[in-house]
């Protein structure tokens, strides 16, 4: 264990997802020399151990020292996996630069007072220490005594700092300093040489063990199976290397162009300069031309532009970016813009498709991050360094292999004892002892375990479901909660215009229905619909958000670029012009110019534009957004009194409702428009009316949700839409079953002297005149009836309430989540946080979504499923080209089949090793061994073929109402292996002893000459010779005996038998007979074994090294193994796979689930006061009151580093060694 002394230890990236502990070490020459000598003496084995365990290399070669003096650092992840990395500390010298650098400690090296560079350079040496971890460079900060990331502008910069310090560009000297310290602005992914990939594969611990095993077998003349395994391993390694090489080439090609972009940079005192993008540094000011691929992350400071962020989000919808606001305060620029800071940031890898200068010069942006610090760099790093999987199967598999290896070690000691007792030579004793050591761990194990996943992946591909993380398929077999986005996932992607409800004189007017075919008459509401959007005109085609597009089409207006005809209105060339189309109703306005746009924000739930009507010299503001949000910014006298009732009447019918508002600006100068603050623009508005859009359920939604419900898989809706709309969609889709109660959870932030509160209201269904089920808040003292407590109530809440509960009522959160079904008005950060909270309750969570807002949640979930036309989405583990949720049950079915297959194969290979181990151990007792061809029959004809085909059984078409076992170390599985081991042990031991009692039995190994003379028509190549001392000496090869002749058919049929027993069909896979190849191979192997058992052909007996026995003895052998099969099949199928029996045993013994959500469900079922209804709780009341110390920003849910309760660190077990 590491000692965390103050100087020796520090944290890297504290509080972030990639947080690391860093320890300082200094290399000691004496230790290094000793390690070198030891490596030579062990023929390089020590180097191999150091390759597997980098921390041992550091501990052996170095001594601990303060980080400031270290030449080597040891890094350890702070997650559950505790992985180690070793890195060398590199020194950079600023004296190598071509211009003089001031050595005065008081003079800063760079103008940015927040920059770590000023604290990282040691003067007068002008030396800087750095370390590169996962492509990111960190420098040692001498002031703060820690390593800090470089290659980015510090977050502590304010808006004023960015404009004042970087607005006019950096000096050429500062650029050079930053280039040396930060490194090139390049995302370089080298194509890995084939030899390096090959070495990495071959040095895998399992392949090293396999090489040892095969070398031993070849030395003993077991050539055929060894060659078969070598061929299989070579094919496996070659395919892996080919795959990795292809991925390396693809990734290299993906990022190669990024490093070759020509950019125009402003240099202070020198004007504009053209240079390669790899020379950019944080703080540079770049000029954005028209179409442009961004080579870095940058903050827009002048003008606006439209970008395509499809590379990051999977959505090719144009996004409008606005300049960072001018502000004189010292608040950090990200905090100043809150969640909206992304609206000012241009991300690396995205495409600028349109620029709009402000009139004060070209569009400018300040470089924020370079190289691997950028959004694209982060994406590439996530591919290069994926997070380890957290799945019990792989950890249990590793433990199982360790157990088998320990069993092999016991066999090793047993063999040593037996052979030494009989006086066999040390060389032969060691050889035979090592041979039994290799029996228990089958070398075909890695190939066998991956075949099930490969088969499942191929079947998914046929169903147009693509996977970028194979190991997630097994995880899908454990999914018990699915989160769905609403719009585009459960409901149709495109919204249909239903109607508009205008207002006049503080009252709602008659609905204008679009289905009537009448044109929308001119009004401020029409002007708002025509102008308040983020649509752009690109190559003559209107592009943008589908909702905006549908709204704009409803006006029958058209969009065109500004031309000379409109310049008389003072409109700039870069302004978008909206004018009435041929089919539009009469309008007194010739055109509308959109002068400025405040884009839609998930946190603000609204967008606005500043526009100018042709012929007018003043300006107008048009705003659209969530009705309940927009009403707060409107003058109260303009909002109809029946606004809440009218809104509810539409949302409960499942309509998407958007409010529109307007105000006239009291400014007349165009230049003032660009300096307007959003807060000023979006205030004192006049309410114009409601836009009603219909969002129909997809036809596949209801049947799929029904199938998931019948399979007892929880469903949750996480949407950015209105809460009432979400509840209605949930009821219409039967996500909330009929007759279930919905409890609205409403939480409020603390205000003045009033603490934070949470209110519980029961929602009831009532019939109304519209002929649909309407949902109203019940204001009476209703409560959930006693008979309906349990899972028949569902909590619904908004994102705002979720934030408050997360912050102030954290102890309530798990209670709400175990029955929470509707989460509306959720921001992207809240979606990710909610998925994480479900995982803390030990749910296996799948997230299905289609939008950019779902990216974080898709990555966070155990299985992220993106509905996209692309074959692979960078944000999700799975991508379905079917734009509906039918992919979800298909994925779960295949996951369950793959998981059951993995368990079956693992159990089979364990039993196969144990069967051979018992048989070999019995023969070792009298210095005997199975013949090469006897082993070959079991290893190649049965085990190899069975393992490669056992997993190809298709998934069962109907989802079972329960999941398969999720861990290998479970009582049914352990009992299965234990009992089958007992059965085979009993049969083999009895056969071994009973054959000695037969009247025709002869100790062939003692009287080989006599026996061979009497069996003159047979021959064998193996014998025992006597040396001068009279001790037995083993001649390598098989030994002819009645024991091996008896045990071989028993062990062989045993292998076939357990393969059949462990190939479980229903309820997770189709019956075994549907797997034609597997069934054929089993029948063929059984037929061949029985044929060899009963045949009397000299060639067969000679080749298989068997002795002819009486037919009655052979029949007895067959009866014994068939009896064993019947007993084993009965025990496995009737007892061990009997779910009702295990549930009864659990109940009688008082065993309870370790899952957090199960424990909460049990507690809440026994709580007579739960669920609360018509009640308000405050944050100071009893156990419900809790302030979450990890909560900082009220606008964002922090991505807290969480321990997934009850789960242990797992990963693919080959990499564990």
Q: Which residues of 159-190 are buried (b: 16+ CB within 10 A; e: fewer)?
A: bbbbbebbeebbeebbbbbbbbbbbbbbbebe
Give the sign of the dihedral formed by CA 127, CA 133, CA 134, CA 136: negative
Backbone angles phi, psi at 283, to 5 degrees: 105, -15
Tokens of 708: 């998931």
Q: By three-state DSSP, how is residue 223 classified?
A: helix
Query: Do 72 and 26 contact (CB within 8 A), yes or no?
Result: yes
Rounded to whole angstroms, the Cα distance separating 394 from 377 reads 30
Rounded to whole angstroms, the Cα distance separating 1047 from 1049 reads 6
Question: Any idea which residue has 């870095």 for tokens?
Answer: 296
Which of the following is catalytic: 284, 485, 850, 1177?
A: 485
Give the sign of the dihedral formed by CA 1095, CA 1097, CA 1103, CA 1105: positive
Pick from 1028, 929, 980: which is nearest to 428 by CA? 929
Element (H, E) at 180: helix 172-182
Q: By three-state DSSP, how is residue 751 classified?
A: strand
Angle at 330 between CA 326 and CA 333, to 5 degrees: 60
Q: Return all residues near 221 (Cβ < 8 A) that are at least 6 apart.
A: 932, 1036, 1037
Query: Do 661 and 688 contact (CB within 8 A), yes or no?
Result: yes
Backbone angles phi, psi at 138, to 5 degrees: -120, 140
Rounded to whole angstroms, the Cα distance separating 976 from 963 reads 19
Give the β-pairing of 20-27 and 72-77. Answer: antiparallel
3-state percent helix, strand, coil for the chain, nearest multiple of 5: 45, 20, 35
Neighbouring CB atoms inside 10 A of 1169's CB total 8
Q: Which long-range contacts (CB under 8 A, 24 or more apart) does 541-549 make?
A: 543/317, 543/318, 544/317, 544/318, 545/317, 545/600, 546/317, 546/493, 546/494, 546/495, 547/495, 547/656, 547/658, 547/693
What are the strands, taking DSSP E only, across 45-133?
Answer: 62-64, 72-77, 84-88, 90-93, 127-133
Q: Is 233 exposed, middle or buried (0-12, 13-18, 19+ CB in 10 A)?
A: buried
Pick from 401, 408, 407: which is nearest to 446 by CA? 401
In this structure, what is the dihedral angle of CA atoms 599, 600, 601, 607, given to the nearest 10 degrees? 90
Neighbouring CB atoms inside 10 A of 584's CB total 18
Pick from 552, 547, 555, 554: which is nearest to 492 by CA? 547
Q: Is 1015 exposed, middle or buried (0-12, 13-18, 19+ CB in 10 A)?
A: middle
- Is 485 considered catalytic here? yes
Per DSSP, helices labelled H in 653-764 are 670-673, 678-681, 701-710, 723-732
Give the β-pairing of 351-356 and 292-293. Answer: antiparallel
Q: Return all residues near 900 (Cβ < 8 A) that are at least 6 apart.
A: 477, 964, 1064, 1068, 1069
Query: Do 655 and 692 contact (CB within 8 A), yes or no?
Result: yes
Task: Please spell the DSSP secondary structure of 1080-1115, one letter per residue.
Answer: HHHHHHHHHHHHHHH---HHHHHHHT-----HHHHH
Up-side HSE of residue 77: CA atoms within 13 Å toward CB?
15
Query: Do 660 and 624 contact (CB within 8 A), yes or no?
Result: yes
- Residues designated as active site: 485
């Amino acid at each position: 264990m590491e000692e965390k002394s103050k100087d020796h230890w520090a944290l890297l990236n504290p509080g972030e997802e990639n947080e690391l502990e860093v320890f300082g070490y200094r290399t000691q020459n004496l230790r290094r020399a000793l390690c070198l000598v030891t490596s030579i003496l062990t023929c390089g084995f020590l180097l191999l151990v150091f390759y597997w365990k980098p921390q041992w290399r550091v501990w052996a070669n170095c001594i601990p020292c303060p980080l400031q003096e270290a030449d080597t650092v040891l890094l350890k992840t702070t997650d559950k996996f505790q992985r180690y990395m070793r890195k060398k500390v590199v020194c950079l010298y600023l004296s190598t630069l071509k211009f003089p650098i001031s050595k005065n400690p008081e003079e800063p090296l760079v103008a940015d007072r927040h920059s770590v560079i000023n604290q990282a350079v040691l003067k007068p040496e002008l030396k800087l220490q750095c370390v590169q971890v996962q492509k990111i460079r960190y420098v040692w900060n001498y002031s703060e005594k820690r390593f800090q990331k470089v290659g980015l502008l510090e977050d502590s910069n304010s808006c004023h700092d960015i404009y004042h310090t970087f607005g006019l560009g950096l000096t050429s000297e500062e650029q050079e300093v930053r280039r040396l310290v930060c490194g090139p602005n390049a995302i370089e992914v080298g194509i890995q040489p084939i030899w390096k990939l090959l070495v990495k594969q071959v040095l895998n611990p399992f392949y090293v063990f396999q090489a040892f095993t095969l070398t031993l077998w070849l030395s003993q003349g077991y050539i055929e199976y060894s060659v078969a395994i070598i061929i299989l391993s070579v094919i496996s390694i070659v395919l892996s290397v080919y795959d990795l090489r292809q991925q390396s080439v693809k990734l290299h090609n993906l990022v190669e162009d990024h490093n070759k972009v020509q950019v125009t940079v402003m240099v202070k005192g020198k004007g504009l300069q053209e240079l390669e993008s790899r020379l950019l540094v944080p703080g540079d000011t770049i000029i954005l031309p028209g179409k442009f691929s961004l080579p870095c992350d940058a903050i827009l400071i002048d003008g606006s532009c439209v970008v395509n962020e499809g590379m990051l989000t999977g959505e090719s919808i144009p996004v409008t970016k606005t300049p960072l606001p001018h502000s004189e305060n010292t608040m950090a620029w990200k905090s100043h813009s809150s969640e909206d800071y992304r609206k000012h940031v241009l991300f690396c890898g995205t495409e600028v498709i349109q620029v709009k200068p402000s009139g004060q010069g070209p569009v400018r942006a300040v470089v924020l991050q370079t190289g691997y610090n950028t959004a694209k760099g982060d994406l590439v790093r996530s591919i290069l360094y994926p997070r380890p999987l957290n799945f019990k199967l792989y950890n249990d598999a590793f433990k199982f292999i360790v157990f088998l290896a320990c069993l092999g070690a016991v066999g090793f000691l047993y063999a040593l004892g037996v052979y030494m007792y009989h006086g066999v030579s040390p060389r032969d004793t060691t050889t035979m002892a090592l041979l039994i050591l290799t029996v228990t761990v089958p070398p075909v194990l890695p190939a066998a375990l991956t075949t099930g996943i490969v088969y499942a992946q191929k079947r998914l591909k046929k169903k147009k479901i693509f996977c970028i993380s194979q190991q997630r398929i097994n995880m899908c077999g454990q999914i018990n909660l699915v989160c769905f986005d609403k719009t585009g996932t459960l409901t149709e992607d495109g919204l249909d215009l239903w109607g508009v409800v205008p207002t006049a004189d503080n009252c709602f007017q008659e609905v204008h229905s679009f289905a009537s075919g009448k044109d929308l008459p001119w009004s401020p509401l029409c002007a708002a619909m025509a102008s308040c959007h983020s649509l752009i005109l690109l190559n003559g085609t209107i592009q943008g958000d589908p909702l905006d597009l549908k709204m704009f089409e409803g006006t029958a207006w058209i969009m065109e670029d500004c031309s000379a005809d409109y310049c008389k209105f003072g409109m700039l060339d870069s302004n978008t012009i909206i004018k009435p189309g041929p089919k539009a109703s009469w309008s007194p306005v010739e055109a509308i110019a959109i002068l400025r746009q405040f884009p839609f924000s998930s946190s603000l739930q609204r967008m606005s534009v500043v526009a100018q009507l042709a012929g007018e010299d003043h300006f107008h503001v048009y705003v659209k957004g969530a009705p309940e949000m927009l009403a707060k910014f409107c003058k109260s006298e303009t909002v109809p009194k029946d606004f809440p009732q009218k809104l509810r009447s539409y949302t409960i019918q499942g309509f998407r409702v958007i409010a529109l508002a307007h105000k006239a600006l009291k400014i007349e100068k165009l230049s003032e428009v660009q300096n307007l603050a959003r807060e000023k623009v979006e205030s004192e508005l006049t309410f114009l009316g409601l836009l009603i859009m219909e969002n129909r359920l997809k036809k596949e939604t209801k049947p799929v949700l029904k199938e998931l419900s019948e399979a007892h898989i929880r469903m949750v809706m996480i949407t950015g839409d209105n809460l009432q709309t979400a509840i209605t969609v949930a009821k219409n889709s039967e996500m909330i079953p009929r007759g279930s109660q919905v409890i609205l959870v409403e939480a409020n932030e603390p205000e003045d002297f009033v603490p934070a509160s949470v209110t519980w209201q029961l929602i009831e269904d009532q019939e109304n005149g519209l002929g649909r089920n309407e949902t109203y808040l019940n204001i009476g003292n209703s409560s959930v009836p006693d008979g309906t407590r349990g899972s028949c109530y569902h909590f619904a809440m908004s994102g705002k309430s979720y934030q408050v509960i997360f912050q102030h009522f954290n102890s309530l959160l798990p209670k709400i989540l175990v029955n929470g079904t509707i989460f509306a008005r959720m921001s992207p950060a809240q979606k990710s946080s909610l998925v994480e909270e479900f995982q803390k309750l030990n749910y296996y969570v799948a997230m299905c979504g289609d939008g950019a807002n779902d990216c974080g949640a898709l990555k966070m979930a155990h299985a992220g499923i993106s509905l996209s036309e692309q074959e692979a989405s960078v944000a999700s583990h799975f991508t379905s080209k079917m734009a509906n949720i039918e992919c979800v049950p298909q994925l779960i079915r295949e996951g369950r089949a793959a998981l059951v297959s993995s368990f079956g194969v693992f159990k089979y290979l364990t039993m196969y090793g144990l069967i051979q181990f018992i048989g070999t151990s019995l023969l070792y007792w009298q210095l005997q061994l199975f013949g090469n061809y006897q082993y070959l029959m079991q290893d190649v004809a049965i085990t190899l073929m069975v393992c490669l085909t056992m997993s190809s059984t298709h998934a069962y078409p109907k989802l079972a109402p329960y999941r398969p076992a999720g861990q290998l170390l479970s009582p049914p599985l352990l009992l299965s292996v234990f009992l089958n081991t007992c059965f085979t042990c009993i049969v083999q031991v009895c056969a071994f002893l009973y054959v000695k009692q037969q009247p025709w039995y002869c100790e062939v190994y003692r009287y080989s000459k006599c026996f061979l003379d009497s069996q003159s028509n047979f021959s064998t190549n193996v014998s025992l010779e006597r040396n001068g001392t009279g001790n037995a000496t083993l001649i390598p090869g098989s030994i002819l005996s009645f024991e091996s002749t008896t045990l071989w058919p028993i062990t062989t049929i045993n292998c076939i038998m357990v393969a059949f027993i462990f190939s479980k069909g229903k309820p997770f896979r189709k019956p075994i007979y549907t797997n034609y190849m597997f069934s054929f191979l089993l029948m063929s192997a059984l037929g061949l074994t029985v044929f060899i058992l009963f045949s009397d052909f000299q060639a067969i007996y000679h080749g298989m090294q068997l002795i002819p026995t009486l037919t009655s003895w052979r029949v007895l052998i067959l009866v014994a193994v068939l009896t064993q099969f019947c007993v084993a099949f009965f025990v496995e199928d009737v007892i061990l796979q009997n779910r009702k029996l295990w549930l009864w045993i659990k109940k009688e013994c008082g065993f309870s689930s370790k899952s957090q959500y199960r424990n909460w469900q049990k507690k809440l079922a026994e709580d007579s006061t739960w669920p609360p209804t018509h009640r308000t709780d405050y944050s100071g009341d009893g156990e419900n009151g809790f302030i979450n110390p990890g909560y900082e920003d009220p606008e964002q849910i922090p991505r807290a580093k969480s321990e997934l309760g009850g789960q242990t660190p797992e990963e693919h077990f080959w990499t564990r060694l």
